[in-house]
Chains A and B, each alone.
Chain A
């Protein structure tokens, strides 16, 4: 497995330079780390629903993708890739294709948690062999920072403003990784761009299984999260250390925490690095959200420890 920097540096870049993603964008880091996990010598087909990654890497007549690439509507990347994979299997059965292919979807959290959810669930249930990667920046960033099903409670977005009657988003996010795991597919993982060795290993496992796999990668967005662009990796690391984004995998139904957190930091350590939570820490009337976030983190962390057999 190529998880030393020396070996990884020898792998060809699939997402090449010159794209128009922001400096400090987490999405391109997520894509490059995931594709480091692709086996050598296979052809790749990448599907991309509409979003920052798509608009910034495929500005006509250019492309940053050094592989086959298909763009589709916002709600159906998993369906489009189901069709590609089914066609491939048929051609393979007929002996018309001899080479080995792998199929990867990169959807944002909007295209995964919300509008693309139905298509994803169908694809996972039917068992198409594809690696579905959610590059998760916890809001609709391409359209101007609107709340999504992945947005954390208390977050400011342009459609979950804080004011007289609200401290920002009033609901907890949904647990998309656990929902994917509930489809009983061979491999599901939650990862972060800050833990590259962990992420590349997970990608390797996802590419290796003969069936669907799902990786939910935390990919901070400094425009939407409001932090200095050079801090993307530090912010992502704090998400792991505070357990608001624990790293784990579900392999054939077995839950396993892949990055142990011995001294769980208070979630405030993470919140205070980002402008999207600034109102919670600055103004007393919004502070009621803070214990709610910590409670949610604690509860989910304990649940994960229980599922992983790490709870006494």
Chain B
């Protein structure tokens, strides 16, 4: 039976991971995600799991790599600078096709980074982040319920595709409290015949990311590419709030999409016909959905809490000739619904010259 409880985003995420059968957490303190570690430090031992605080993020990601290689469902969480330190390990995991969940409760801006909400890690998350030709599976919740549900989803996708997955959220989602429906315990973890479990009774196997024989590395990279194509075909998650006839389409993700939802409601109450597409998976990106909707509307406004990172993916996705415009707040400020509404109003009324970019 589903239980409904008032919960903080970080705690809901941690509980989601436990529900998904994740029993191994490796982490290192950094604000604003410490609630995840603190909660799991007492919860995991209760369910027979392991909580381990590492001496750095480099250590925690490589502990996760070790656990994943042994066949465990494992996770880590961090924020901005800590996620940057993890990139080498993430690249190794992707190259070795090892699953795992990384949670990034982002920080604001490059360098030390403030702890206000921001979406500046979009490129790092969706382009792989570390060295080499790889992708992360990236899910972007916009509610406490989704912090819980997408943690479960991300762990499943990671195992299914043998690839690290990331939850990209921010301090708003990590700290705020909302009612959550807790799913009853779920599905079993898929078998992992590739895992290193001791070679007793079977042939020894090898997990590695480096292939030296002529042409082998290229073959390996094409194999991973094919996997990312399969993800693109089968695993796109998107929330579409479209109308029959539209003057304007908005695209936004994560916490920012909540303000866009309010702006859309405001615009509709004033008689504007606007639609909203919210990518839930940032990789794979819902390019097809955005192309189809933009064909019908012609004008697309992207709203982001960065200088326009997802905007690049939107412009790659839209139907040729679409007018594209960006409302960006990269400084830790949250775009108010009224500010978004004014931009909607201007863009709908204006001629083509108002668009910053025509694709």
List the interface of chain A (C-beta within 8 A of B): 50, 71, 73-75, 110, 114-115, 117, 140, 142-144, 146-147, 149, 158-161, 163-166
What's the dominant secondary structure at chain A's contact region?
A: loop
Q: Which residue of A50, A114, A166 contacts B45 across the interface (Cβ within 8 Å)?
A: A166
Within 8 A of A (CB), among B46-101: 46, 51, 53, 55-57, 81, 85
Known: A161-B41, A163-B45. A50 touches B112 (CB 8 A): yes
Q: Roughly how many angstroms separate A110 CA and B30 CA in the complex, as a whole number?
A: 11
Residue in A closest to B38 when the chains form the complex, CB atoms: A158
Q: Roughly how many angstroms separate A165 CA and B47 CA in the complex, as a whole number?
A: 12
Q: Roughly how many angstroms separate A246 CA and B45 CA in the complex, as a whole number?
A: 35
Residue in A closest to B28 when the chains form the complex, CB atoms: A115
Known: A75-B85, A110-B29, A146-B37. A159 touches B53 (CB 8 A): yes
Is B307 positioned at the interface, with any CB of A under 8 Å from its CB?
no
Q: Roughly how many angstroms separate A147 CA and B57 CA in the complex, as a whole number?
A: 15
A-B contact pairs, 23 of them (CB 8 A): A115-B56, A115-B57, A143-B29, A143-B31, A144-B29, A146-B34, A146-B37, A146-B53, A149-B55, A158-B34, A158-B38, A158-B41, A159-B37, A159-B38, A159-B41, A160-B41, A160-B53, A161-B41, A161-B42, A163-B45, A164-B45, A164-B46, A166-B45
Q: Report the minimal beta-carbon distance from A161 to chain B, rounded to whole angstroms.
A: 5
- List the B side residues contacting A73 at CB < 8 Å: 81, 112
Residue in A closest to B32 when the chains form the complex, CB atoms: A143
Q: Besides A115-B57, A158-B41, 14 other CB < 8 A contacts?
A: A74-B81, A75-B56, A75-B85, A114-B55, A143-B29, A143-B30, A143-B31, A144-B31, A146-B34, A146-B38, A149-B55, A159-B38, A160-B53, A161-B41
Q: Roughly how many angstroms separate A143 CA and B51 CA in the complex, as a whole number?
A: 18
Residue in B closest to A117 when the chains form the complex, CB atoms: B55
Q: Report the minimal beta-carbon distance from A77 to chain B, rounded to whole angstroms.
A: 13
- List the B side residues contacting A142 at CB < 8 Å: 31
Q: Roughly how many angstroms separate A114 CA and B6 CA in the complex, as a whole number?
A: 36
- List the A side residues contacting B112 at CB < 8 Å: 50, 71, 73
Interface residues on B, range: 10 to 19
Q: Report the minimal beta-carbon distance from B112 to chain A, rounded to whole angstroms.
A: 6
Q: Which 9 A-B residue pairings sit nearest by Cβ, starting from the closest?
A: A143-B29, A114-B55, A115-B56, A146-B29, A159-B41, A158-B38, A140-B29, A161-B42, A159-B53
Q: Report the minimal beta-carbon distance from B39 to chain A, rounded to whole angstroms.
A: 10
- List the A side residues contacting B31 at CB < 8 Å: 142-144
Q: Report the minimal beta-carbon distance from B337 to chain A, rounded to whole angstroms.
A: 29
Q: Roughly how many angstroms separate A50 CA and B29 CA in the complex, as a whole number?
A: 12
- List the A side residues contacting B34 at CB < 8 Å: 143-144, 146, 158
Residue in B closest to A114 when the chains form the complex, CB atoms: B55
Q: Which of A50, A147, A158, A163 is most buried by chain B, counting CB atoms within 10 A of its CB?
A: A158
- List the A side residues contacting B41 at CB < 8 Å: 158-161
Residue in B closest to A142 when the chains form the complex, CB atoms: B31
Q: Report the minimal beta-carbon distance from A156 to chain B, rounded to whole angstroms.
A: 11
Residue in B closest to A55 when the chains form the complex, CB atoms: B112
Residue in B closest to A75 when the chains form the complex, CB atoms: B56
Q: Report the minimal beta-carbon distance from B27 to chain A, rounded to whole angstroms.
A: 8
Q: Roughly how many angstroms separate A117 CA and B56 CA in the complex, as a whole number?
A: 10
- List the A side residues contacting B85 at CB < 8 Å: 75
Interface flags for B278-319 (1: CB within 8 Å of A; 0: not) read: 000000000000000000000000000000000000000000
Q: A144 near B38 (CB under 8 angstroms)?
A: yes
Q: Roughly how many angstroms separate A304 CA and B42 CA in the complex, as a whole number?
A: 36
Q: Report the minimal beta-carbon distance from A89 to chain B, rounded to whole angstroms.
A: 27
Q: Report the minimal beta-carbon distance from A278 to chain B, rounded to whole angstroms.
A: 17
Residue in B closest to A161 when the chains form the complex, CB atoms: B42
- List the B side residues contacting A144 at CB < 8 Å: 29, 31, 34, 38
Q: Roughly how many angstroms separate A165 CA and B42 CA in the complex, as a whole number?
A: 10
Q: Report the minimal beta-carbon distance from A286 to chain B, rounded to whole angstroms.
A: 15
Q: Which of A117, A143, A149 is most buried by chain B, counting CB atoms within 10 A of its CB?
A: A143
- List the A side residues contacting B81 at CB < 8 Å: 73-74
Q: Roughly how many angstroms separate A165 CA and B41 CA in the complex, as a whole number?
A: 12
Q: Roughly how many angstroms separate A144 CA and B38 CA in the complex, as a whole number?
A: 9
Q: Roughly how many angstroms separate A75 CA and B58 CA in the complex, as a whole number?
A: 11
Q: Report the minimal beta-carbon distance from B247 to chain A, rounded to whole angstroms.
A: 42
Q: Roughly how many angstroms separate A115 CA and B81 CA in the complex, as a whole number?
A: 13
- List the A side residues contacting B38 at CB < 8 Å: 144, 146, 158-159
Q: Report the minimal beta-carbon distance from A83 to chain B, rounded to whole angstroms.
A: 17
Q: Report the minimal beta-carbon distance from B140 to chain A, rounded to whole angstroms.
A: 24
Q: Roughly how many angstroms separate A71 CA and B45 CA in the complex, as a whole number?
A: 38
Q: Report the minimal beta-carbon distance from A252 to chain B, rounded to whole angstroms.
A: 30
Q: Roughly how many angstroms separate A73 CA and B110 CA in the complex, as a whole number?
A: 12
Known: A73-B112, A159-B41. A147 touches B56 (CB 8 A): no
